[in-house]
Amino acid sequence: MKVPFSKFAALAALTLCSWQVLADEVQVAVAANFTAPMNQIAADFEKATGHKAVLAFGATGKFYAQIVNGAPFDVFLAADDTTPEKLEKEGQGVSGSRFTYAVGKLVLWSAKPGFVDAQGEVLRSGQFAKLSIANPKTAPYGAAAIETLNKLNLLAAVQPRFVQGENISQTLQFVSTGNAELGFVALSQVFKDGKVSGGSAWIVPDSFHEPIYQDALLLARGKGNPAAVALLAYLKSEPARGVIRAFGYGLR
């Protein structure tokens, strides 16, 4: 049976409208250390659901300030668990939506092969001019770096050599470009195919700093956004967890 063109056009228009209703956008504030895995997860998420994740990357502390000042984010993927908890308590997030999506690992890394030894003794040697860390006031990986140096009783000795990055991405850039011989960065930034890719590294033992639990939170603005709810659900799925593991993160 032939469908009259007018009816076909109406059906097509209805289908298009339904797709537009189903395919929404979600604005996501993402901790800088999670840049590479989140870019992949966002692409996979769009293929799986039709929803588009619009990503902004930066320091967790700076995102906190932006969110409380009305920045239009629906979902927050932080580099710690305390900032999302604080936002939730302050009414900026949806109660009960918070969960740990990844457990971060800190690494001392140099772009120079053989420069960093397997125990991190290069920090004691003093044979470097600059050490890059992320701002410990706004970046949890920077705070973990300070804890590590305190654990080693080296903070006072190396602090004059700090080159401070605004976030962990800028910290890595300082080391990659040679502005600092070594730096504390996220393992995920230098991890590929199950190992550190390029340069030399010391993976900091977890006992040297507080656990880097990275929590996700549905923000108040995203409560009625199906794409925001879907993204958080997707982050708990096995495909997303596989990507997270592949970048060197732990999972809870």
Q: What is the pLDDT along the chain (252 residues), one digit of tens a residue?
A: 444 434 433 433 433 343 444 579 999 999 999 999 999 999 999 999 999 999 999 999 999 999 999 999 999 999 999 999 999 999 999 999 999 999 999 999 999 999 999 999 999 998 899 999 999 999 999 999 999 999 999 999 999 999 999 999 999 999 999 999 999 999 999 998 888 988 999 999 999 999 999 999 999 999 999 999 999 999 999 999 999 999 999 999
Residue 226 token pair: 């199906």
Q: What is residue 197's predicted lDDT score, i.e. its pLDDT?
A: 86
pLDDT tens column, 56-98? 999 999 999 999 999 999 999 999 999 999 999 999 999 999 9
Cα 220 to Cα 22, 24, 57, 97, distances in angstroms: 20, 17, 19, 10
- For 18-31, the DSSP string reads HHHHH--EEEEEEE
How do strand 75-77 and strand 212-218 relate by DSSP bridges? antiparallel
Q: Which of 232, 251, 205, 209 is closest to 75 using CA atoms?
A: 232
At 4 the pLDDT is 46
DSSP-derived secondary structure letter, 220: G
* pLDDT score for 224: 93
Q: What is the pLDDT of residue 27?
A: 98
Token pair 């004691």 is found at: 124
Question: What is the distance, to the nearest Å, from the Cα of residue 42 to the centroid of all Cα atoms in its chain?
Answer: 13
Instruction: Work out the end-to-end distance of the chain between its first and last CA atoms, rounded to an integer number of angstroms.
Output: 56
Stated length of the chain: 252
C-alpha span between 248 and 236 (Å, rounded): 17
Radius of gyration from C-alpha coordinates of the chain: 21
Tokens of 2: 């032939």
* Phi, psi of 2, deg, nearest 5: -80, 135
Q: What is residue 8's predicted lDDT score, i.e. its pLDDT?
A: 33
Query: Which domains are delineated in the chain?
Result: 5-103+212-246 (3.40.190.10), 106-203 (3.40.190.10)
